[in-house]
Amino acid sequence: MAAVLLPCAVTSAQEDSEPAVPAGEPDTVLQLLEFIRVEAEEGSRLNRTRVGTLPRGQGERQRMLEAVTRELEAEERRSADLNRRYEQNETDLADLAERLRVRIGNFGELFGVVRDVAGDTVGEVVNSLVAAQYPDCVDMARVAGAEKVSVAASTP
């Protein structure tokens, strides 16, 4: 029985960083037996303490694992939702880009017609009596017939 208890005493002494050497060399077998018994009781007490804390630590780790698992599932749902929204936004963006392209085409065509009419009007305005009374209107007619109209050129 002493041979079985001796490794526990040595292990606990090593873990606690305390030397396993008694204060003095045991002179008799009874002193050696007493030393072994004390060390075995100390090792047994440490082991009971460790075993007692193990279930609490296990329960805490289990709760932490469950919390992290719930958080992971929530983030995976959020990721799936964001991916779905991203795909929907890509589709919406393509639709809006097409609508913009059509509107730009319509407005470009409309502006081209206005430019053509303004170009035709420049000749009429230059030769009219209005040009003699208001010389600035000729400049405005030329600006309206220009290819590109800047804001600065169109404001008096």
Residue-range definition of the domain harbouring residue 130: 28-154
In a domain, 14, yes or no: no
pTM above 0.85, yes or no: no
In a domain, 130, yes or no: yes
Contact yes or no for 1/32 (Cβ under 8 A): no
Total tally of structural domains belonging to the chain: 1
In a domain, 3, yes or no: no
Tens of pLDDT, residues 31-90? 888 889 999 999 999 988 887 777 676 778 888 999 999 999 999 999 999 999 999 999
Contact yes or no for 134/141 (Cβ under 8 A): no
In a domain, 7, yes or no: no
Reported for 45-51, long-range contacts at CB under 8 A and 24+ positions apart, including other chains, are 46/12, 46/15, 46/16, 47/8, 47/12
Q: How far is CA 66 from CA 61, 72, 88, in A?
A: 9, 10, 33
